Structure 1
Amino acid sequence: MKKNRKRLGVPAVIGAVAGFYLLSFLFWPLPDAAESGCRATTTPITDVQGRTGVTPMDGERVLIRGVVSGDFTGEEELGGFFVQQEGVGASDSGEASSGLFVYAPGMEVSPGERLLLDGEAGEYYGMTQISDVRLRARCGRGEEVAPVTVKLPLTERERHRLQGMKLRLEPPLAVTGLYELGRYGVVAVADERLYTPTQVHRPGTKARQQAAENQQRLLRIDDGSKRRDPALPGWVSDVFGAGQSLRVGDQLAAVEGILDYRYEHWRLQPLEPPSVRTANARPEPLVRPPENRIRVASFNLQNYFNGDGHGGGFPTERGASEPEAFERQHLRLVNAIAALAADVIGVIEVENDGYGRDSALAELTGGLEGDWDYARPERQRLGSDAIAVGMLYRAERVQPLGQAHTLLNGPFAHYNRPPLAQRFRHLGTGATFWVVVNHFKSKRCGGAVDANRAQDDGQGCWNPLRVKAANRLVEWVEVLAADHGDDRVLLLGDFNAYAREDPMVHLREAGFRNVLSGHRPLPASGYIYRAESGTLDYILATGALKDSIQRAGVFPINADEPPLLYYDRENRHDVPTSIIQDGDPWRSSDHDPTWVDIDLGAPDGN
């Protein structure tokens, strides 16, 4: 007898199949949408970056996949993060970078995370990025992004090839500029201290070549923030907290970070705090010279204005904004002058308010310990500018011979400040000598026309006017020397020209010798502008004084210090007060004093 076989109807078959797939879904789930998306075809980051420094996909929407190499999405940070293409290093990507900035304020990411991102490619002030970003998928942890090891200098082409990538910047790394530290949290570094091109080369082709080389050697260490006037980066605060100051010339160990470009400059956004080694410690006060020697110094005071001389009259035209600020400035300068241990000091950028008891010169000398006085010309003011030059001297060491002289015509009628010349007798030896204080026109271009405009040779604006001042000064000094039968002359002051520029060449060819020559290593530094060091302030000797120079130097108490230490407390941020005592000489000005010791022979009676 045959068994009866039950036939399954169509509904039963459908139900069985559905049941099978339900069990399959429960026990062997299908890939979800995110995992499926992570395997999507994407545009390589190297293609987004391109090989020309500008993305070839500007304005296009792209789908990219990358590993987060640096997260800067926090409040007041950069508003985004960096990703890097997996498995592609500098040697694999050819001429294109494998890193990219993702502008995505508020998006939560973590370093090492692999992301699938959809965004619009473009350039933001020179930085390739994607914006209007949509997070398509989080794809787990990616391969660790290994840093590319580099050293300065780096050419512009090399920097574009590394833009947005994780780097390890190897030493040597010298701090070469601190101007942006207080304002933006930025420290400028290079393979060594950078010098203004015309400090080391004659203006023209070589200076332009040096300027280009300096840019290849320069990089900014940023703080990962877009905030102005931020708290100091933690690694800088640690230096100050240890009772030291971060100074130009200090050294950094290797730094890891992301190579970034913004605000018209290349910068490294650190991923770990840099480590600092003090290599340019603050100097000790100078030792006073022996009795038969005299020390002469030049010091730009950076706008010393004392109001009405009675505690009022603030804010001043160019100096302190309030009495408390002036008191801090005054104490700093008094202590700086004391540390110089000089006998005669030519001062620059002092208020041009005459020579009476309420004048700036009177207040400054009144604060100095000892018998100090100041030179007085026949006129009540030197020219019409708000600032003037002046001359301080220790009356127990030197005696002025007659009134001071000045020159108000020719190139000194306008722009160049009138010079001040005073003849002295050294009380210890009876020897006589001249000191002539100067302040030539600055390089700022306001009002400059024709030949006085910048000529792209490195000398800035007003160079012809400074040359005229140098030539007229030589003529005038020669007349003074001949009239008094005394050619022992020191020219000093702020000549607003670097060492190899035309005015200094003209003075050297006229027989005036830079006292630093042969007495300290050159190039010298006493002023820093845009992370480049140089000298604007000089002491130049002629006549018998050229052979009487014993010692000379720059007293590095100001230019190498961070400008945020200036007496204006608004720029102090979170710097410990132990670093910025008001009585300290540090950053009392933006110029370093220059000094020279002259041997005037045996004392009288020997």
Structure 2
Amino acid sequence: MTAISTIQGSGASSPLAGRTVTTAGVVTGDFQPAELQSGFFLQSEQGDGNPATSEGLFIYVPGANPLSRIEVRPGDRVRVSGTVKEYRTGSGTLTELDTISALTVCSTGPELAPALVSLPVEAITDLEAYEGMLVTFPQVLTVTETYNLGRYGELLLSSGGRLFHPNNGQGGSPEEYPLRSILLDDASSRQNPAPLPFLSSPGVDGTRRVGDTVSGLTGVLSFQFSEYRVYPTAEPAFVNANPRTAAPERIAGEVKAASFNVLNYFTTLNSRGANSATEFARQKAKIVAALKALDADVVGLIEVENNGTVALQDLVDALNAAYGAPVYAAVPDPATGTGSDAIRVALIYKPGSLSLTGESLSFPDPMFDRYPVAQTFRRNTGSNQTSTDFTVVINHFKSKGSCPSSGDVDQGQGCWNQKRVEQARKLLQFVGELQRRSGDQDVLVIGDLNAYGEEDPVQTLVAGGLEHLSLRIPAAQRYSFVFDGQSGELDHALATPSLAARVRGITPWHINADEPAVLDYNTEFKTDDRYAPTPFRSSDHDPLLIGIDLGAVCPR
């Protein structure tokens, strides 16, 4: 009889790989069905006293093996014979017993108590000593990534709260984040699980948001696809610590301005956005619901199809239909165009609240594929008799992706950072031109800058005299996007000093970044489709709302 700890050894791989052994232990996790893991986890009842060796082992018994018909349950005492194997999926391996030749349930008794594991660990390799074992994380863990929930039944959890991008201003480092994180896996071997696991409630209102928490997570620790993961043996006790809100936080200000990346709103189907008329109707319903709840006087839109005014007017028409009245209008396109990219920025506004002063302008510089677009507005009515004009500039800087092989490569701020810095310099030039043309100093700069708050493009704008209004948002709420488990603010608001003094409030509305992607408008990869025509997951970016009093300078 070979002890499980001897099979596991004290390193990343078993010293007995390829050898046939017989071992015994207590079943801690039963995942025998083919739609799960086609096996179970076995653990020594008495350990060897060596903290470097795991006492757990995965026993792989697929349906083709006649012994798979022997059912085991947690607490069963089992003796098993098979071949030691290092099973590889990605980088790293899982030690398991394969080619099972004998399997006997000897008796049934109490289930084993889980080993306690706390995050952060000092090194990722510390978890190897618990591979295959029943474990409990006694602390509060926070959901920090939901992207793969619908595709693979996975949630990324972290200790110490959600993970923020290191360049966003909340602290943290990419070196420490893996030590604070663990993957929660539904143990299903199938893609697109149905029903969706870990949701807050059944039906279309169910979600699981970044920022929600779980305590006392218990399951077996496995290693698959290059990551340690927990297959729960008890239902995780989630707390809806970051609940949805039906509308953005109320902020002061006679005029409300908003920025919203609408994630490829394309009337041309099967291009960047919706692939079918059904998907487009679903996408439109969600975006309209979000815009209607924002109810801003002027909205800067990002990622609208650049097909003249077709897509933009389609969205305005749908929004007005939802109001049942012509509440919004599109700002006419600038004579100098909107750029050569497939997507563009645009402005819509409420003619009942604001009037256009002069024509819209863009900045047709070759540094931009998507030109910044600006319009000067005047408030129609208000309690202040000294109402002033103000100008809004909507932007979409170069993305961090599609990296070049040389030149403007990632040096810690994503690819194309040098180009984004140059775009920031050009934007400052544009702001100066707008002030000279309008004769008014009040300029609001909004949009998706594809840069986090402490990165060079944003700091270039600040050094050029703009106030970063987003810094007025509490640090814990200062994000609009989640990527690779890290929250950060890509969508910003900045203002010239004179307008910054008139800003009464600013708030993000977290309807998208925190939500699982599986709740969006798309129809593919959804065995369990929870779509609802609500604002939630209408895009992948959160909108930003700013409140302004135009008639008076506001004390800070």
Question: Could you say whether these structures have the same fold, taking a TM-score greater than 0.5 normalized by the shorter chain as the test?
Answer: yes
Match of 2:236 among 274, 277, 295: 274
The residue correspondences of 1:146-545 to structure 2 (distance < 5 A) are 146-154=113-121, 155-191=123-159, 192-200=161-169, 210-233=173-196, 235-236=198-199, 239-241=201-203, 243-286=205-248, 293-307=254-268, 315-355=269-309, 359-360=313-314, 362-364=316-318, 366-367=320-321, 369=323, 370-379=326-335, 381-412=337-368, 414=369, 417-428=370-381, 430-446=387-403, 448-455=404-411, 457=412, 459-522=413-476, 524-545=478-499
1:99 to 26, 31, 56: 56
TM-score of the pair, normalised by structure 2 = 0.90
Q: Does the 8 A contact of 2:249 with 2:507 survive in 1?
A: no
Deviation, 1:148, is 0.7
Identity %: 35
- Name the CA distance, whole Å, in 2 between partners of 1:481 and 1:267: 55
Paired residues of 2:467 and 2:497 also in contact (CA < 8 A): no
Offset of residue 596 of structure 1: 0.8
Contact persistence 1:317–1:386 (CA under 8 A): no
Whole-angstrom CA distance in 1 between matches of 2:552 and 2:410: 50
Q: For residues 50 and 112 of structure 2, what CA distance do their matches in structure 1 show?
A: 14
- Matched to 1:419, the amino acid is P
Cα distance in 2 between the residues matched to 1:341 and 1:213: 41
Shift of 1:409: 2.1
- Superposed displacement of residue 381, structure 1: 4.8
Question: Which of residues 120, 123, 132 is equivalent to 2:83?
Answer: 120
State the distance in 1 between where 2:204 and 2:4 align. 43
Aligned equivalents of 1:226, 1:356: Cα separation in 2? 44
Matching residue of 2:545: 595
Alignment RMSD, CA only?
2.4
Q: Does 1:585 find its partner at 2:553?
A: no
Q: Distance in 2 between matches of 1:359 and 1:243?
A: 30
Q: Are the structure 2 counterparts of residues 61 and 454 from structure 1 closer, same or farther at C-alpha, using a change threshold of 3 Å?
A: farther
Between stretches 274-283 and 116-125, larger displacement belongs to: 116-125
SS of 1:403 mapped into structure 2? strand
Query: 1:548 maps to which residue?
Result: 502
* Distance in 2 (alpha carbons) for counterparts of 1:588 and 1:118: 52
317-326 or 517-526: bigger deviation: 517-526
Amino acid in structure 1 at the alignment position of 2:375? Q
Question: CA–CA distance in 2 between the matches of 1:527 and 1:94?
Answer: 40
C-alpha distance in structure 2 between counterparts of 1:47 and 1:591, whole Å: 50
Distance 1:384 1:491 in 2: 21
Cα pair 1:306 1:359 within 8 Å, conserved? no
User: Could you say which residue in structure 2 is the equivalent of 1:88?
Assistant: 47
SS in structure 1 at match of 2:444: strand
SS in 2 for 1:317: coil
Structure 1 residue matching 2:436: 3-state secondary structure: helix
Shift of 1:432: 0.8
**Equivalent pair of 2:52/2:129 in contact (CA under 8 Å):** yes
Cα offsets for 1:307-359 (capped at 9, x unmatched)? 3xxxxxxx341111122221221121112111112111000000111125985
Higher strand share: 2
Question: Is the 1:355–1:362 Cα contact (8 Å) retained in structure 2?
Answer: no
Unaligned 5+ segments in structure 1 are: 1-41, 308-314
Distance 1:258 1:225 in 2: 14
C-alpha separation in 1, matches of 2:125 and 2:136: 18
Whether the 8 Å contact between 2:316 and 2:328 is mirrored in structure 1 is no
* One-letter amino acid of the counterpart of residue 600, structure 1: L
Q: Is the 8 A contact 1:403 1:422 kept in 2?
A: yes
Say whether the 8 Å CA contact 2:387–2:551 is kept in structure 1: no
- Report the 3-state secondary structure (helix = DSSP H, G, I; strand = E; otherwise coil) of the residue aligned with 1:152: coil
- The count of corresponding residues between Structure 1 and Structure 2 is 535
Would you say the 8 A contact 1:183–1:230 is kept in 2?
Answer: yes
Q: Is the 8 A contact 2:291 2:319 kept in 1?
A: no
> Aligned partners of 1:52 and 1:520: how far apart in 2?
45
CA–CA distance in structure 2, aligned partners of residues 170 and 569 of structure 1 = 38
- In the alignment, what sits opposite 1:65? 24
Amino acid at match of 1:388: R
Change (3 A) 1:397 1:200: same
How far apart are the structure 1 equivalents of 2:488 and 2:52?
37
Deviations 1:59-116 (A, max 9, x none): 2333322222111110211122111122118xx2321111111222132333222233
Letter paired with 1:118: S
Residue 602 to residue 499, structure 1, CA distance change in 2 (3 Å) = closer
1:140 aligns with 2:94: no
Q: Is the 8 A contact 1:303 1:350 kept in 2?
A: yes
- Structure 2 SS opposite 1:538: strand
Cα distance change of structure 1 residues 186 and 67 upon mapping to structure 2, 3 Å threshold:
same
Deviation at 1:361, TM superposition (A): 5.1
- Residue by residue, what CA displacement relative to the aligned partner does 1:349-388 show, whole Å, maximum 9, x if unpaired? 0011112598545545544534311122334852222111
> What's the CA shift string for 1:179-224, capped at 9, x where partnerless?
11110111222221111222137xxxx87xx112111111121111
SS of 1:46's equivalent? helix
Distance 1:167 1:242, change over 3 A: farther
- 1:233 Cα deviation (Å)? 4.8
Secondary structure of the structure 2 residue equivalent to 1:464: helix
Cα pair distance change 1:373/1:243, threshold 3 Å = closer
Whichever residue aligns with residue 198 of structure 1, its letter is N
- Give the superposition deviation at 1:150: 2.2
**CA distance in 2 between partners of 1:316 and 1:233 (Å):** 27
Deviations 1:19-65 (A, max 9, x none): xxxxxxxxxxxxxxxxxxxxxxx222222222222222332333322
Cα offset, 1:287, TM superposition: 7.4
Q: Is the 8 A contact 1:351 1:360 kept in 2?
A: no
Paired residue secondary structure (1:135): strand
Compute the displacement of 1:232 (Å): 3.0
Q: Distance in 2 between matches of 1:519 and 1:223?
A: 36
CA–CA separation in structure 2 for the residues paired with 1:267 and 1:438:
40
Unaligned segments of structure 2, at least 5 residues: none
Using the alignment, how far apart are the partners of 2:15 and 2:86 within structure 1? Answer: 10
Aligned to 1:52: 11
Q: What amino acid is the match of 1:396? A: G
Conservation of the 8 A alpha-carbon contact between 1:127 and 1:260: yes
- Alignment match, 1:35: none
Q: Secondary structure at the match of 2:506?
A: strand
**Deviation of residue 522 (structure 1)?**
4.5
Q: Is the 8 A contact 2:480 2:508 kept in 1?
A: yes
